[in-house]
Structure 1
Amino acid sequence: MSDDRRSVKTYVPDEQKAIWQEHADELGMSQSEFVRTMVQAGRRGFSIDGAENPVEPDPSGSDPRGDDLERRVEAALADGVLSWEELVDAVFDDFEGRLEDALDSLQDRNRVRYNGREGGYTLINE
């Protein structure tokens, strides 16, 4: 990945931005890092039932109709009414655990390490 970075802008309702900021703070991330991580997670697909078998995304790397997300929303709402925040939590409920597992695996394989001095994770270049 290149060190060159470009700005991407989007507009969301104030309530959504507040929820994203709260989740970013809980994960110790900047809001930009949080949004970037969520977009990448979405492009890789979601697991339907929280199991370890994620749904494979479209080979083009996109899910233009959002079918997988729609299935997760339907599954979450099958038990009744959920607020926006409850729905967001239901759809992303296993993300923190999956992220921790991924980081553990990458660290075990010497691909990523935590750098306390820098205050975050870094990719190990071979």
Structure 2
Amino acid sequence: MSDDRRSVKTYVPEDQKAIWQDHADDLGMSQSEFVRTMVQAGRRGFSIDGADNPVEPDPSGSDPGGSDLERRVEAALSDGVLSWEELVDAVFDDFEGRLEGALDSLQDRNRVRYNGREGGYTLIDE
């Protein structure tokens, strides 16, 4: 990542900001890191809304999601130095595969289908 950074401002409802801050805290990120990561994730074509969160909670209940994310970061960095974008890609690559598997499973069970006309996946009503 270049040291030539620029500020970007956005305005969101107070409750949305609080949700983002809580989520950033859970992931051990600053709010700026969290927003930057979520924007990059969105640009890759999937959403992060809690249900699709790439960080799984620690079954012990302590440090929810933090240790799993830390293990992923350590594994990604074990081969050397990575930029912010490379690190985000490395951490989210695992999620992308898991998301694809989940979509395949849901489609096999006829719970989800791809709707080309609307350009995305849709839940099939029972």
Encode CA deviations 1:87-108: one digit per residue, 9 max, x unaligned: 1111112332222221111011
Taking the aligned partners of 1:120 and 1:32, their CA distance within structure 2 comes to 29
Q: Using the alignment, how far apart are the partners of 1:69 and 1:47 within structure 2? A: 18
Q: What residue ranges of structure 2 are gaps of 5+ in the alignment?
A: none
CA RMSD of aligned residues (A): 13.5
Q: Secondary structure at the match of 1:98?
A: helix
SS in 1 for 2:114: strand
Residues 24 and 31 of structure 1 are in contact (CA less than 8 Å); yes or no, is this contact kept in structure 2?
A: yes
Q: Name the CA distance, whole Å, in 2 between partners of 1:3 and 1:11.
A: 25
Structure 1 gap segments, 5+ residues each = none
Q: Which range is displaced more, 16-25 or 108-117?
A: 16-25
TM-score (norm 1): 0.50
The separation in 1 between residues aligned to 2:108 and 2:33, in whole angstroms, is 23
What percent of counterpart residues are identical? 92
Runs (4 or more) in structure 1 with deviation over 6 Å come to 1-55
Return 42-51 or 75-84, whichever deviates more: 42-51
| Larger displacement relative to structure 2 (51-60 or 103-112) | 51-60
Secondary structure (helix, strand or coil) at the match of 2:46 reads coil
| Larger RCO (CA under 8 A, 6+ residues apart) | 2
TM-score by length of 2: 0.50
CA contact (8 A) 2:26 2:65 kept: no
Contact kept? 1:24, 1:34, Cα under 8 Å: yes
Equivalent residue pairs, number:
126
Secondary structure of the residue aligned to 1:92 is helix
Q: Is the CA contact 1:76–1:87 (under 8 Å) kept in the aligned structure 2?
A: yes
Deviations 1:27-47 (A, max 9, x none): 999999998997999999999
What whole-Å deviation, never above 9, does each CA across 1:39-87 have from its counterpart, x for those lacking one?
9999999999999999962459884471111111112112211111111
